[in-house]
Amino acid sequence: MTINDSHIRPMKFTSFAVERCIRVLVDGNGHFILPIDSRQVESILEPIAADIGFGPDFDYSLIQTQIDGQTFAMVVEADRAQGALYVNGDYGGVWWRVVGYKDGFSNDPFVLATTDCQDSAQCTCMSLQRLLEPARVAVRVLDGAHSEIVSNRPAEVLVLIESGDDCADDEESQSELDSVSPWAGLKPEAAMVVPEKIQGLWDGTW
């Protein structure tokens, strides 16, 4: 079956974050996680962070809250849960999730990964955050040709070398383009391109 993905566009994230959550166990082997409300009393949650379920002498309840349209979870004393909305499931311990934020959707994080290991979540988040950092590239040009390219991370570099052409049409002056990808192990290739098409190379439309 052929899938038409012409309408699919990549998501553009502006930042990533790690959120501490409560895992909620549901019937069977299913589960979901909810971020922990910032009002959570740590002295209540800390002793049961690694537990699954509440013990018989644990007089607390798992409730859910709403803040700015987002759903959160809290473990509270049973007498404080009166009138609160209970979470539909059982307490399953403290987990972490890695979320990405898209431009214009600060209250609608996109969940990218979940784990019971805080270090793994933080490592994943740091790796994703690095992708948002700009690549820093230094190009050394000697006698009209590039001789060295240095980058802080893998990058494809377009080096434009202007070349005069008395015969070129005034409306379509041309440039020489070197497309260089040092990490791909390929030799630089040169091509003649119309300058107004160069932007298309950057945004993938040409």
The residue written with tokens 């803040």 in the block is: 67
Q: Residue 95: what pLDDT?
A: 95
**Ranges under pLDDT 70 in the chain:** 1-6, 144-147, 161-206
pTM of the model: 0.65
The pLDDT score that the predictor gives to residue 191 is 36
**Residue 82: C-alpha distances to residues 17, 34, 44, 69, 152 (Å):** 33, 21, 17, 22, 56
| pLDDT of the residue at 165 | 55
Q: What is the mean pLDDT of the chain?
A: 76
In this prediction, residue 186 carries a pLDDT of 35
Distance of alpha carbon 176 from alpha carbon 18, whole angstroms: 45
Please identify which residue in the block is written with the tokens 């015969």.
167
105-137 residue pLDDT tens: 777 889 999 999 999 999 999 999 988 888 777
Instruction: Give the pLDDT score at 6.
Output: 65
